[in-house]
Amino acid sequence: MNQAHDIIHRFSFTDGPVRGQWVRLQEVLEVLNGHQQYPGNVAGLLGEMLAAVALVADGIKFNGAVSLQSRGPGPLTTVLAECRAQHLLRGIARWPDAANLPDTDSLGELIGDGQLALTLIPANADQPYQGLVGITDNRLAGNLERYFLDSEQLPTRLLFAGTGESVTGLLLQRLPDSDHATEIELDQNEAFWEEIGMLTSTLTDRELASLDPQTLLRRLYATHPLTLQPPRNLRFSCTCSREKTAATLKAFSRDELLALIDEEAPPKMPGEILVTCEICGAVERFDAIDIHLLFEPETPRIH
Ligand SMILES: [Zn+2]
């Protein structure tokens, strides 16, 4: 599969302490929409959350998983996006009652009076870190901007724009001033950040969603030299496996599973249990022999 559209870039300005990131996802969204019929507004939010975890994972030196999850009393009960090893993305959204899902992009209406949880799970045995932010803005970007400011003391501008088939994110972050900065330098840094913020606010959704990063950055920040790093590829990747599915099935007894096979089987056909991963759509099949093998004690090999 061509993954050329799923890339992330970093950039930094020559004239002031501001860093940036640009991300676009398309193939990842195609994979997700390929097995789940996500309504447009849910797919849009899931896409933005996937772009967000890609940005967060890329912005920190972190070898593990970054996840962003929404929780709230609204009709969209869960949206979960995850980025592993800085480039492997997967996500899922749940809305138990489709009739109650409003046709809106407003987080307040979709998720309700809930919160977003950003979790960093290190690959080693270190403790996970979780930060929470209440949903007070109807846009994901607005809530995350506040998270970065409140939890990490980093003034941030974050924008997302989608086309229905792709999502593009742009993040700008004010870096801390150097300890030795003079008053004049501090003023200059602050003025530079304000200038970049002002220029950024002239960007339209249409430009963000359609322009390539080179053209966008050249047009938007024409008079401010910057260095654009080479892109990194991102791709969809699920963590499901036959072993994990088997472990889940073992929560039932052998008899319960065999009874389930009989129920599901058409007459005179060998029955099987089909377990579909709700994230990637992969199907694992377990027939009666597989079920018996699940419950065989592992025989130690003597030879
Ligand atoms: Zn899967």
Per-residue CA distances from 27 to 23, 31, 111, 160, 277 (Å): 13, 6, 26, 17, 19
What's the 276 CA to ligand 1 centre distance in angstroms? 8
* One domain, residues 206 and 264: no
- Residue numbers of the domain that contains 131: 7-236
* One domain, residues 74 and 199: yes
* One domain, residues 231 and 252: no
What's the 30 CA to ligand 1 centre distance in angstroms? 15
* One domain, residues 200 and 180: yes
Q: Is residue 165 part of a domain?
A: yes
What's the 239 CA to ligand 1 centre distance in angstroms? 6
Cα dihedral angle (137, 138, 141, 146), rounded to 10 degrees?
10
What's the 268 CA to ligand 1 centre distance in angstroms? 31
DSSP state of 178: P
What residues contact residue 192 under an 8 Å CB cut-off, 6+ apart?
Answer: 13, 15, 16, 17, 18
* One domain, residues 115 and 166: yes
* Average pLDDT for runs of 10 along the chain of length 303: 74 96 97 89 97 94 90 95 95 93 96 95 85 96 96 94 96 94 95 97 97 97 96 94 91 90 65 87 90 80 59
What residues contact residue 123 under an 8 Å CB cut-off, 6+ apart?
Answer: 63, 64, 65, 85
Q: Is residue 36 part of a domain?
A: yes
CA 111 to chain centroid, in Å, comes to: 17
Task: Give the end of a domain, one of 236, 254, 272.
Answer: 236
Q: Is residue 300 part of a domain?
A: no
What's the 88 CA to ligand 1 centre distance in angstroms? 13
pLDDT at 79: 96
> What is the tally of structural domains in the chain?
2
Q: Is residue 69 part of a domain?
A: yes
pLDDT at 281: 85
Q: Is residue 128 part of a domain?
A: yes
* One domain, residues 279 and 139: no
pLDDT at 2: 42
The b-or-e profile of 83-117 (16+ CB within 10 A means b, else e) is: bbebbbbbbbbebeeeeebeeebebbbbbbebebe
pLDDT at 268: 54
* One domain, residues 204 and 287: no
Question: Are 292 and 254 contacting, i.e. CB atoms less than 8 angstroms apart?
Answer: yes
| Token pair of 201 as six digits | 């606010």
The CATH number of whichever domain residue 87 belongs to comes to 3.55.30.10
Q: Is residue 246 part of a domain?
A: yes
* One domain, residues 76 and 163: yes
Q: Is residue 299 part of a domain?
A: no
Enter the pTM of the model.
Answer: 0.88
pLDDT at 109: 96
What's the 279 CA to ligand 1 centre distance in angstroms? 5
Per-chain residues with Cβ under 5 A from ion ligand 1: 238, 240, 277, 279-280, 282
The Cα 131–Cα 148 span in angstroms is: 10
What's the 78 CA to ligand 1 centre distance in angstroms? 17
* One domain, residues 171 and 100: yes
The Cα 279–Cα 238 span in angstroms is: 7
The CATH number of whichever domain residue 287 belongs to comes to 3.90.1280
Task: Give the end of a domain, one of 199, 221, 236.
Answer: 236
* One domain, residues 160 and 273: no
* One domain, residues 188 and 277: no
Per-residue CA distances from 145 to 52, 108, 170, 182 (Å): 11, 16, 12, 28
Q: Is residue 161 part of a domain?
A: yes
Task: Give the end of a domain, one of 206, 236, 266.
Answer: 236
What's the 9 CA to ligand 1 centre distance in angstroms? 27
* One domain, residues 18 and 120: yes
